[in-house]
Amino acid sequence: MEFRKKVAERKPRRYRNWDYWSKPLPGFGDPEAKLLIVGLAPAAHGGNRTGRMFTGDGSGEWLARALYETGFANKPTSTHREDGFRLRGAYITAVVRCVPPENRPTPEEIENCNPYLIEELTALKNLRVILCLGSVALSGTLKALRRLYPDADLKGIKFGHSRLYTPRGLPYTLITSYHPSRQNTQTGRLRWDEWLGVFRRVREVLG
């Protein structure tokens, strides 16, 4: 809590005129979504600034463009809450709702935010695919799924890029991908064609 407030107080020069959101972030998107995208947490000068997940930073640019190119969004850019960006058949959330120091949430933070993810999973009645962006997102998602579906066989699910799982007893397909952070995209660990391929794979699963 204190960190997200400090971020707003120490804003970089390029955002000096912004009134930072600096509050916990809810998920957003289509309530009839078949695809749920789970990230790590709001970015310090992205979601924590703009008040919307994956909005106003490099990760958001990659995500918005991929969603647009595969028909899940109405435009290829996501810059602020009132920019007209809308999701179609998709919903975006995160395992942690406040920006953590060094983008590394503690186990306690993940545990405290897990009920919100459970509520979203329960509310999205048409959900068929869950896309986890990064190992922490997968870990937090599995925590929620074990509570919702205690009899589901979630053993053997490990993080890796573009991996697909259809666990017995779970009504969703799980897909994992590298997070589109600058650390991954600028180093070449995640290339654009690989990233777009993840969403094309989602489309194949959804038919």
Per-residue pLDDT of 59-80, as tens digits, reads 999 999 999 999 999 999 999 9
pTM of the full predicted structure? 0.95
Q: Which domains does the chain have, with CATH numbers?
A: 2-206 (3.40.470.10)
29 beta partners: 91
pLDDT score, position 90? 98
Three-point CA angle 152, 67, 154, nearest 5°: 10
Give the C-alpha separation, 28 to 73, whole Å. 12
Give the C-alpha separation, 181 to 195, whole Å. 12
pLDDT score, position 1? 53
Q: For the chain, which ranges sit under pLDDT 50?
A: none
8 Cβ contact partners less than 8 Å away, ≥ 6 residues apart: 20, 22, 48, 49
Asked if 90 contacts 35 with a C-beta cutoff of 8 angstroms, the reply is yes
Cα dist from 195 to 75, 174, 182, whole Å: 18, 16, 13
